[in-house]
Amino acid sequence: MTEELLERIKQKNRWPITFSDIFSFTIILICQLPILLLLRSCIIDNVYDLKFVPYIFLIIALFLPLFMCLKLYQNKLFYSLNIPNLSELQINSALKKTKFQNIEYNKLGYYSLYSSAHLFSWGEEITIILDNNRLLINSRPMNVNGFQQIIIKKDKKNIRILIDELKKNCP
């Protein structure tokens, strides 16, 4: 992360959109084409045995891209937490009490830590930025090989663990 990127995150409270994000969404849309072609053939050819199935696929084809866009956008957002008189020492002691691995502090003023892999995820990268009395926290997939773009619940759980630990350590 560069200094310019860090300042941009502090101002906008989110990661910038990258080519990888646009590529991921394009792949999602391309994966919808077979569903739409099946739908078209069932409705136009008037196949009565398959009248119910196309409508189920239509619902999936409409809501899956919306869900994916929402999750991709949520992965970009930083949660803002106002804790007065928060110091790096308090953050360090809170992070040591959590189960996260490879806690790294960068000279630019942010922490990077990683959660372990589990059944549905290759792990998450958590970024913590201290900006005066404001703490910005983001959890996003580590994106191994470019395949994992979203996390369903694990990201919010990681952020909740960090917030709870920080509130315990701060008076």
User: Nearest to residue 22, comparing CAs of 58, 68, 59, 64?
Assistant: 68
Highest CATH level, class, for 3-169: alpha beta
Mention every residue, 6+ apart, whose C-beta is less than 8 A from residue 120. Answer: 151, 152, 154
Counting residues of the chain whose pLDDT is more than 90, the rounded percentage is: 1
Residue 47 or residue 153, greater confidence: 153
Residue 3 in this model has a pLDDT that exceeds 80: yes
Helix intervals (H) in the chain: 3-12, 19-31, 33-44, 52-76, 88-96, 154-169
Amino acid at 132: N
pLDDT mean across residues, the chain: 78
Picking from 4-8, 56-60, 88-92, 103-107, which range would have the lowest pLDDT averaged per residue?
56-60
Is 94 within 8 Å of 169 (Cβ atoms)? yes
Q: Quick one: pLDDT at residue 48?
A: 62
Give the pLDDT confidence of 28-83 residue by residue, as tens digits: 778 777 777 777 666 666 666 666 776 777 787 778 778 877 877 888 889 888 88
Q: What is the mean predicted confidence (pLDDT) over 108-113?
A: 87
Give the pLDDT confidence of 125-141 residue by residue, as tens digits: 888 898 888 889 888 87
The pair of structure tokens assigned to 41 is 């053939």
**pTM listed for this prediction:** 0.78
Q: What is the mean predicted confidence (pLDDT) over 87-109?
A: 82
3-state secondary structure (DSSP) of residue 152: coil
- Locate the domains of the chain by residue range: 3-169
Residue 146 or residue 113, greater confidence: 113
